Amino acid sequence: MEFCTGHKVDDLDFLRKADISPTKVAKALIELFGEMIFIHGFVHGDPHPGNILVSPRGQGRFSLVLLDHGIYKELDPKFRLDYCKLWKALISLDVQKILELGEQFGVGKYAKYFPLIFTGRTIDSKSALGTQISGEEKTRIKQDLNSLGMDDISSFMESLPPDFLVILRTDGLLRSILGNLGAPRHVRLLAYAKCAIYGHEEQSRLESELARLLVQFNDYKH
């Protein structure tokens, strides 16, 4: 046990008095969880503001303290890798890859909503990542969503793998905190993109290294 001092992560009055940048706090927080999700596949499952403290270190510096380690989720290795691939596809808006991964996740036709859920743009968007979508896109989204019934929503949620539901809940809580901190939208998108690319490439590197070691081992046997 350890007693940790600090204030709630979204306590803006405290951050101002301590001369700590809310945007830097937001960036540190989302990079921390990006690393958990995309690289380690071991995720704190309840990141509400009461479970995250900012501990000042003087001169605008700080540490983040995570409390309540009772709910963690170890992501399935294949799911983690596929989720890395999904975010790479979302950033580049690779429609074919998004739909292909949607089939792997078991959501079928509902995969077209992944860009909207995670990045705030449609699958056929012409808007730059992290910017506001056009009025035309908003109208199209409204019409599309109005055509969905409760059966569609239930079918989508029920078809998601359990790991995906954990990610959605965690990401929802984090987005709320980032909103309270006034962080620009691109902070989360860039952090997730960086971690997704690293998580995917690290897996590829490990697989290549393993294959090399197996070849070496076979050579030694011969």
pLDDT at 180: 97
Q: What is the mean pLDDT of the chain?
A: 88
Question: Is 83 in contact with 94 (CB distance < 8 Å)?
Answer: no
Q: Is residue 4 part of a domain?
A: no
In this prediction the pTM is 0.85
* Segment 36-55, tens digit of pLDDT: 999 999 999 899 999 999 99
Q: Is residue 134 part of a domain?
A: yes
Chain-centroid distance, C-alpha 5: 27
Between residues 205 and 44, the one the model is more confident about = 44
Q: Is residue 200 part of a domain?
A: no
Please say if the pLDDT value at position 157 is more than 60: yes
Q: What is the mean predicted confidence (pLDDT) over 152-181?
A: 91
Q: Is residue 162 part of a domain?
A: yes
Q: Is residue 73 part of a domain?
A: no
Please say if the pLDDT value at position 23 is more than 80: yes
Between residues 211 and 80, the one the model is more confident about = 80
Set 11, 13, 46, 151: catalytic member: 46
Assigned token pair, 175: 């987005």
Query: Per-residue confidence at 95, pLDDT binned at 50, 70, 90?
Result: very high
Q: Is residue 13 part of a domain?
A: no
Question: Is 85 in contact with 91 (CB distance < 8 Å)?
Answer: no
Q: Is residue 74 part of a domain?
A: no
Q: Is residue 135 part of a domain?
A: yes
In whole angstroms, give the CA distance from residue 162 to residue 20. Answer: 37
In this structure, what are the phi and psi dihedrals at residue 46, rounded to the nearest 5 degrees?
Answer: -145, 60
- Enumerate residues 6+ apart whose C-beta is below 8 A from 15: 7, 21, 22, 25, 54
Q: What is the mean predicted confidence (pLDDT) over 134-138?
A: 79
Question: Residue 125 in 3-state DSSP?
Answer: coil
Host domain of residue 91: 80-170
Residue among 8, 107, 11, 12 at smallest CA distance from 64: 8
Please say if the pLDDT value at position 59 is more than 80: yes
Q: Which of 60-69, 71-80, 141-150, 200-209 is the least confident region?
A: 200-209
pLDDT at 35: 96
Q: What is the mean predicted confidence (pLDDT) over 6-15?
A: 97
Please say if the pLDDT value at position 122 is more than 90: no
Q: How many domains does the chain have?
A: 1
Please say if the pLDDT value at position 214 is more than 80: no
- Does the annotation count 46 as an active-site position? yes
